[in-house]
Chain A
Amino acid sequence: MISIKPLLAVLVSLLVVPILVSSRTPNVREAWTFAAASAKFLIVVSMVPAVLRGEQLVYTVAQVIPGAPIAFRVDPLGMLFALVASSLWIVTTAYSIGYMRGLGEHGQTRYFCFFAIALSSTIGVAFSANLLTLYLFYEILSLATYPLVTHHQDAEARVSGRKYLVYILGTSIGLVLPAMLICYHLSGTLAFSDQGFLAGTGPPQLMTILLFMFVFGFAKAAILPFHGWLPAAMVAPTPVSALLHAVAVVKVGVFSIVRVLTGVFGIELLSWLNLGTIVCVIASCTILIASLIALSQDNLKRLLAFSTIGQLSYIILGVGLLSPKGITGGVLHIAMHAFGKITLFFCAGAIFVATGKRNISEMVGIGRRMPVTMTAFFIGALSITGLPPAGGFLSKWYLGLGTLQADQITMLVVLLVSSLLNAAYFMPIVYRAFFCPAEMAMFENRVQEAPAFCVVPLVLTALISIILLFYPEPFFSLARLVAQGVTGG
């Protein structure tokens, strides 16, 4: 079904850019951002019923290269991701206002402007109908996030910005671009399809090389050893870390890999060449190593970054299992992890705004000072660890079932060990925040939370994390549709 809605969903936040630049009053500027975010969300939501009915909305923007136009296609996988990103943009906008004004940051107009561009390209990636369009928005996202990462414009930001560009642009130009061209040369098309388009086009060795080029080339997914940019990017203001480095940017990387695995290679080809196992091994190494590194971090945001690196590979692992339940779990984890992790980042930011503290060792007893924030933190941590009553439990449950369905007991062990590690690095923070002896507490026994613009969003995302366990729609149906589509049943 041809529909212009996907294009509108992408462009609506770009339309706000000129207005952002020209407006001189912050309140008007933020009102526009809210309007754009809400409009984007509504457009995305309006497409949900059609997608749930099994229809696909398509729209071609320009015929640039034969077999590879700039075109959009809305399918369950893209819809799930777009829903997560566009809904969290609204929440993050509110949070940004509290955070940026609370700290009196400079260059706020630039900040909101590039935030809008970043969200545009995120939705663009989600709705891409082919590899070329995906690459286009992937690159725009890389470039649009650079000014956000380096927002502080100091020496530290400069170093991190360089690292960011080297990893992200280096891999996308150096690995993904050639891989994409080889795919085009092999098959004459780049359009994603449920069965993939590479089957029977080249020798197995070439397929393996291509797989490596794609999996490592989408460095936004932060698979080891291409993860170094993510902890460095934590110099950015916290809302950037929260939305972009827990949801949009990193998930774009993971989404691209999932898209390539299912829509370019196809599950059948992957299992025939046994490439799924390779993906699983790469992902599980990343999961375990990142979790171990996270244990040793003192800076809260860096800890969250390493935790993110581990959690991202859960999604890849789930798809690499090639079993319907594993894919369901992996795709569902895109949503569950997003709500859990953004809560944690919001909390880290709120703590910074309220107390100026960044390190965990300085947060002993902070539960008495900021009870709401730390309770939300606890819920987020539960979700990431995969414990009820938070939504993360559901996706991990399905991932576990997926390992059994695929007969990969080793991977089940990896999942369990990793969950233990997650608990090991999160729970001490929560425990010491609430249950430390009075003489060790670093804060007075007086409740003083961050501004309401900071606290309300994080309470909201924490609540959603809980609700998602009991009512995981429409994410769960979408994830199931993805699994059905790509496994053919």
Chain B
Amino acid sequence: MSSQYPGLLIIVPLLSALLISVAGWVNKRLCFPIAVVGLSVALYASIGLLLRVLAADPALDGGVVLYRLGGWDPPWGIAYYVDRLNALVLVVVSVSALLNLIATKNDVRESFSTKIGAFYTLYILLVTGLLGITVTGDAFNLYVLLEITALTGYGLIAMGGEYRAPLASLNYVYMGTIGACFYLLGVGYLYMITGSLNMADIASILPGLYDSKVVLAAFVICMVGVWLKMGFFPLHAWLPNAYTYAPSAVSSLIAPLMTKVMIYVMIRLMLTVFTPEFTFSVLALQTSVVWLAVIAIVMGSILALGAPDVKKMLTYIIVAEVGYMVGGAWLGNRAGMTGSILHIANDALMTLCVFLAVGNVVYRVKGYGFDDLRGIFVKMPFTMIGFVAGAFSIIGVPPTCGFFSKWYLISGGIEAGHYGFVAALVFSSLINAVLFFKLIEVGYYGSEDAHHHHGTTPVSMAEAPVSMVVPLLIVAGGLIAVGLYTGDIVARIIDPVIAQTIMD
């Protein structure tokens, strides 16, 4: 059984997506339970995989679980490789997707009463795509799964009730397609010169070809494609609208996971496919890319300051956070890479946390403008506890996990002598503090003229249903727990990943 985990991880959600679409016709009430079962199995399998790679000895077999899809041997068949790096991402993806699924149940039932089958089918397919991207060891298979996530994502975003949702989705279609095409083109070049699509195989063939212009072109084109997909400034233009006008339940799925999985793909390309030696020594791009990241961080923060509503603000913060991770990965040292990988997990959790909280607010208040937050601390105290925890993590207040990944990123910057990156991170933390306290202030003061110094408060409590609040609070607690276990996560999961591949 346990040897089939990588297969189960993909097959079970895929089949449950099919079942859901059937159930959508037969009995709509069955859709949600099937989805929960599908994702629970995925979660079970990914935790099982993480435990297995943790138990494996990195020195012996590289700590990698190899799974041949359909029994074909690599490099001909599609192989799934699971090491500590993607095992971590798998757990993050399946935990977030499952929690979000449960938290948004009420919201989905009310918003998509007639389209509930379609919604859950797309939802589960999207998660299947994300899990597949993470688990696969085949460069072309990755493209296929990339398109699955993208196509389902377009559909989900366009289901948003706002009139701007279809346009935002269309914009995303254009940009996302261009990004995916770039990636495919890069893979094409790689196939041309190496004759292989298997990542490990490519990695073993490439070292003799480092001088080749084709390899260089393949790398750069792949990178640009991936950057476009993750919304790396200035390729981010599609992201804020798509994530803002999507339905709440979709925003809180896509915003935490999509960009983070793309960061994972970038790191996978940098470390496994092209090897750190090529990425950091043969190419002389390192410093320039970190500077791009600096611009992304600064611009993301500034744009967030000017954002007209809460969701838009959060999406621009994501743009800045993408800059954190790209910059950290490209610093080319252990601390920076550690920070970047750690931030994949941490940022996914904290973004999930704030988006879930905003989802709850939208569910009750029917809006996500700044004014809709007035008196929200009294109205929805538990939701706001979750929101504040997420906000503090994004600002980087210890002991939430956001502080610790930022710690590693900044120390990577200091180690590399890249003080622009250090300054950008500090700047962004300060801006985040301003942004979130702006919201907290609105929520705390209530209406402008109500001076309830001696009187009773005019707002009464209207908390979201328990099924929405509990997952949020679990995530919020998780932020602190992950923060306190940073030492273990880094020592047992992240350090061996980098030890296998690079640096010092």
The residues of A with any CB-CB pair to B shorter than 8 Å are 61-66, 69-70, 104-106, 132, 135-136, 139-140, 143, 147, 150, 152-154, 158, 161-162, 165, 169-170, 173-174, 177-178, 181-182, 184-185
The residues of B with any CB-CB pair to A shorter than 8 Å are 392, 395-399, 404, 407, 410-411, 414-415, 422, 426, 429-430, 433, 437, 441, 444-446, 451-457, 483-488
**Chain A contact residues: over half helix, strand or loop, or mixed?**
helix
Q: Are A181 and B407 in contact (CB under 8 A)?
A: yes
Q: How far is the CA of A270 from the CA of B495 in the complex (A)?
A: 37
Q: How far is the CA of A430 from the CA of B381 in the complex (A)?
A: 46
Q: How far is the CA of A162 from the CA of B442 in the complex (A)?
A: 12
Q: List 26 A-B contacts (CB under 8 A).
A: A61-B484, A64-B404, A64-B484, A65-B407, A66-B487, A105-B454, A106-B455, A136-B398, A136-B399, A143-B392, A143-B397, A147-B444, A153-B444, A153-B446, A153-B451, A154-B453, A161-B441, A165-B433, A169-B430, A170-B430, A173-B426, A173-B430, A173-B433, A177-B429, A178-B426, A181-B422
- Of A104, A165, A181, which one neighbours B411 at CB under 8 angstroms? A181
Q: Which residues of A contact B396 (CB under 8 A)?
A: 173, 177
Q: Are B452 and A153 in contact (CB under 8 A)?
A: yes
Q: Are A158 and B445 in contact (CB under 8 A)?
A: yes
Q: How far is the CA of A61 from the CA of B487 in the complex (A)?
A: 12
A140's nearest neighbour on chain B, judged by CB, is B397
Q: Are B437 and A165 in contact (CB under 8 A)?
A: yes
Q: Are A65 and B486 in contact (CB under 8 A)?
A: yes
**A214 to B: closest C-beta gap in Å:** 15
Q: How far is the CA of A182 from the CA of B398 in the complex (A)?
A: 18
Q: How far is the CA of A135 from the CA of B457 in the complex (A)?
A: 35
Q: Are A139 and B398 in contact (CB under 8 A)?
A: yes
Interface core residue of A105, A106, A169, A177 (most chain B CB under 10 Å): A177
Q: Which residues of A contact B392 (CB under 8 A)?
A: 143
**A22 to B: closest C-beta gap in Å:** 12
Q: How far is the CA of A173 from the CA of B431 in the complex (A)?
A: 11
Q: Which residues of A contact B455 (CB under 8 A)?
A: 106
Q: How far is the CA of A86 from the CA of B43 in the complex (A)?
A: 46
Q: How far is the CA of A177 from the CA of B487 in the complex (A)?
A: 19
Interface core residue of A61, A70, A104, A152 (most chain B CB under 10 Å): A70
**B379 to A: closest C-beta gap in Å:** 15
**A123 to B: closest C-beta gap in Å:** 16
Q: How far is the CA of A173 from the CA of B392 in the complex (A)?
A: 12
Q: Which residues of B contact A140 (CB under 8 A)?
A: 397
Q: How far is the CA of A61 from the CA of B407 in the complex (A)?
A: 19
11 further A-B pairs in the complex, CB-CB below 8 A; given A66-B487, A153-B445, A177-B396 = A62-B485, A65-B404, A65-B486, A105-B454, A136-B399, A139-B397, A147-B444, A153-B453, A158-B441, A165-B433, A173-B433
Q: Which residues of A contact B398 (CB under 8 A)?
A: 132, 135-136, 139
**A422 to B: closest C-beta gap in Å:** 34
**B360 to A: closest C-beta gap in Å:** 19
**B487 to A: closest C-beta gap in Å:** 4
Q: How far is the CA of A104 from the CA of B455 in the complex (A)?
A: 9
Q: Are A174 and B426 in contact (CB under 8 A)?
A: yes
B388's nearest neighbour on chain A, judged by CB, is A143
Given known A173-B430, A185-B411, contact A64–B487 (CB-CB < 8 A): yes
**A2 to B: closest C-beta gap in Å:** 18
**B341 to A: closest C-beta gap in Å:** 15
Q: Are B453 and A150 in contact (CB under 8 A)?
A: no
B449's nearest neighbour on chain A, judged by CB, is A155
Q: Are B411 and A106 in contact (CB under 8 A)?
A: no
- Of A63, A106, A158, which one neighbours B454 at CB under 8 angstroms? A106
A142's nearest neighbour on chain B, judged by CB, is B397
B407's nearest neighbour on chain A, judged by CB, is A65
- Of B433, B456, B486, which one neighbours A64 at CB under 8 angstroms? B486
Q: How far is the CA of A132 from the CA of B397 in the complex (A)?
A: 11
A151's nearest neighbour on chain B, judged by CB, is B453
Q: How far is the CA of A150 from the CA of B440 in the complex (A)?
A: 12
Q: Which residues of A contact B437 (CB under 8 A)?
A: 162, 165
B448's nearest neighbour on chain A, judged by CB, is A155
Q: How far is the CA of A184 from the CA of B412 in the complex (A)?
A: 12
Q: How far is the CA of A69 from the CA of B486 in the complex (A)?
A: 10
B381's nearest neighbour on chain A, judged by CB, is A21
Q: Give the 6 A-B CB pairs with smallest separation, nearest first.
A: A63-B487, A136-B398, A62-B484, A185-B414, A64-B486, A64-B487
- Of B415, B433, B446, B487, which one neighbours A65 at CB under 8 angstroms? B487
- Of A61, A70, A106, which one neighbours B457 at CB under 8 angstroms? A106
Given known A69-B487, A170-B430, contact A154–B415 (CB-CB < 8 A): no
Q: Which residues of B contact A158 (CB under 8 A)?
A: 441, 445
B489's nearest neighbour on chain A, judged by CB, is A64
**A79 to B: closest C-beta gap in Å:** 24
Q: How far is the CA of A445 from the CA of B56 in the complex (A)?
A: 86
Q: How far is the CA of A153 from the CA of B456 in the complex (A)?
A: 13
**A352 to B: closest C-beta gap in Å:** 14
Q: Are B444 and A150 in contact (CB under 8 A)?
A: yes
Q: How far is the CA of A366 from the CA of B487 in the complex (A)?
A: 60
Q: How far is the CA of A174 from the CA of B398 in the complex (A)?
A: 15
Q: Which residues of A contact B444 (CB under 8 A)?
A: 147, 150, 153
Interface core residue of A62, A64, A140 (most chain B CB under 10 Å): A64
Q: Are A70 and B445 in contact (CB under 8 A)?
A: no
Q: How far is the CA of A153 from the CA of B453 in the complex (A)?
A: 7
**B263 to A: closest C-beta gap in Å:** 22
Q: Which residues of B contact A150 (CB under 8 A)?
A: 444
Q: Which residues of A contact B410 (CB under 8 A)?
A: 177-178, 181
Q: How far is the CA of A65 from the CA of B398 in the complex (A)?
A: 12
Q: Which residues of B contact A70 (CB under 8 A)?
A: 399, 484
Q: Which residues of A contact B453 (CB under 8 A)?
A: 105-106, 152-154
Q: How far is the CA of A153 from the CA of B414 in the complex (A)?
A: 41
Q: How far is the CA of A154 from the CA of B450 in the complex (A)?
A: 8
Q: Which residues of B contact A170 (CB under 8 A)?
A: 430, 433
Q: Which residues of A contact B445 (CB under 8 A)?
A: 153, 158
Q: How far is the CA of A139 from the CA of B397 in the complex (A)?
A: 7
**B496 to A: closest C-beta gap in Å:** 15
Q: Which residues of B contact A169 (CB under 8 A)?
A: 430, 433
Q: Which residues of B contact A181 (CB under 8 A)?
A: 407, 410-411, 414, 422
Q: Are B426 and A64 in contact (CB under 8 A)?
A: no
Q: Which residues of A contact B404 (CB under 8 A)?
A: 64-65
Q: How far is the CA of A161 from the CA of B433 in the complex (A)?
A: 13
Q: How far is the CA of A174 from the CA of B451 in the complex (A)?
A: 34
Q: How far is the CA of A203 from the CA of B403 in the complex (A)?
A: 28
Q: How far is the CA of A78 from the CA of B444 in the complex (A)?
A: 34
Q: How far is the CA of A174 from the CA of B407 in the complex (A)?
A: 13
Q: Are A182 and B451 in contact (CB under 8 A)?
A: no
Q: How far is the CA of A154 from the CA of B448 in the complex (A)?
A: 8
Q: Which residues of A contact B456 (CB under 8 A)?
A: 106
Q: Are B399 and A104 in contact (CB under 8 A)?
A: no
Q: Which residues of B contact A165 (CB under 8 A)?
A: 433, 437
Q: Which residues of B contact A174 (CB under 8 A)?
A: 426, 430
Q: Are A173 and B429 in contact (CB under 8 A)?
A: yes
Q: Which residues of A contact B484 (CB under 8 A)?
A: 61-62, 64, 70
Q: How far is the CA of A165 from the CA of B392 in the complex (A)?
A: 14
Q: Which residues of A contact B457 (CB under 8 A)?
A: 106
- Of B422, B433, B451, which one neighbours A154 at CB under 8 angstroms? B451
**A365 to B: closest C-beta gap in Å:** 29
**B231 to A: closest C-beta gap in Å:** 25
Q: How far is the CA of A181 from the CA of B409 in the complex (A)?
A: 10
Q: Which residues of B contact A106 (CB under 8 A)?
A: 452-457
**B467 to A: closest C-beta gap in Å:** 22
Q: Are A62 and B487 in contact (CB under 8 A)?
A: yes
**A60 to B: closest C-beta gap in Å:** 11
Q: Which residues of B contact A184 (CB under 8 A)?
A: 411
Q: Which residues of B contact A161 (CB under 8 A)?
A: 441
**A65 to B: closest C-beta gap in Å:** 6
Q: How far is the CA of A170 from the CA of B404 in the complex (A)?
A: 19
**B365 to A: closest C-beta gap in Å:** 20
